[in-house]
Structure 1
Amino acid sequence: MGAFRTLTYEDIRKVCLDFPGAYEDFPFGPETAVMRVRATVDSASKVFALLWRSPQGLRINLKCDPVLAVQLRDSYSEVIPGYHMNKRHWNSVILDLPWTPQIDGLRAVHLMDMIEDSYDLIVSALPRRDRMLLGWLPS
């Protein structure tokens, strides 16, 4: 069994900001990083994740297909309805647990998939021109 390693705020932040057109801002104050995507500086941006430290630990809100959102909540205790979001379309994920491939429950690879799915859901709703500028192709 490998050593336990907790994903940090910076780990998650880097994953989010590595997507084409992704950037962060702080419209709710310095405690909450809002991860957005836009094709150009002049185009409209859309939120695909919110990352913050709560008194209970690190959290992230991610957009999700409504059917999958319920399945994830039913499967993982770390996934709950989106905090301060439309609970049908958004999940919150509790990140203050050891995230290793060896532990049960939600694994780091699943979290990365959830972040990518959130980004893809948002980008898929952008105008075709913006999707092309981002180099986004549906899988």
Structure 2
Amino acid sequence: MNYEWLDEYCLSKQGAIKDFKEEWNATRYFVGEKIFLMVGGDKYNKSIITIKCEPFFGQMLRDEYEHIVPGYHMNKLHWNSVYFDGSVPDNVVKQMIDMSYRIVLNSLSRKLQNEILKDA
């Protein structure tokens, strides 16, 4: 899988923005100044997507797909990394992105959530 749709999909989320953090060599996607997804590499420079998930769901995915591992350089309970060269289907990655966006959005203050969603 190469996930060519990833950038467009992430930026289609209400209030989503991205930046590139040079020190990490990573593209980060934010909602309300909190990261919901990061694209970078592991210690072998293999491309990965790191996504926040509910712990039970993340563990279930790691058990099912060998190319989903605990989040690289992130909290292993809440974050998962997906290898670009793996075989994780697009629909599973999109489900993970949707969950991550929702978790991060819901962690924001009600006022900020309302500002982000006002045009929805």
- Decide: shared fold, TM above 0.5: yes
Q: Hey, what's the Cα distance between the residues in 2 that align with 1:7 and 1:123? A: 23
For 1:27, the equivalent position in structure 2 comes to 21
State the Cα distance separating 1:76 from its structure 2 match: 0.7
Q: Hey, what's the Cα distance between the residues in 2 that align with 1:13 and 1:83? A: 20
- The Cα offsets for residues 49-89 of structure 1, whole Å up to 9 and x where unpaired, read as 11125555421100111111111100111110000000001
Q: Hey, what's the Cα distance between the residues in 2 that align with 1:17 and 1:84? A: 23
Unaligned runs of 5+ in 2: none
Unaligned runs of 5+ in 1: 39-44, 98-104
1:121–1:52: structure 2 CA closer, same or farther, 3 Å change rule?
Answer: same
- The Cα offsets for residues 89-111 of structure 1, whole Å up to 9 and x where unpaired, read as 100011224xxxxxxx5311111
**TM norm structure 2:** 0.86
Q: Hey, what's the Cα distance between the residues in 2 that align with 1:106 and 1:20? A: 25
Q: Hey, what's the Cα distance between the residues in 2 that align with 1:50 and 1:57? A: 14
For 2:109, the equivalent position in structure 1 comes to 127
For 1:41, the equivalent position in structure 2 comes to none
Runs of 4+ in 1 over 2 A off after TM superposition: 5-8, 26-31, 53-58
Q: 1:51 aligns with which of 36, 39, 42?
A: 39
Q: Is contact 2:15-2:117 (8 Å) kept?
A: no
1:77–1:53: structure 2 CA closer, same or farther, 3 Å change rule?
Answer: same
1:65–1:74: structure 2 CA closer, same or farther, 3 Å change rule?
Answer: same
RMSD: 2.0
**TM norm structure 1:** 0.75
- For the pair 1:15 / 2:9, whether they are aligned, the reply is yes
Aligned length: 117
State the Cα distance separating 1:6 from its structure 2 match: 3.6
Higher helix share: 2
Identity %: 31
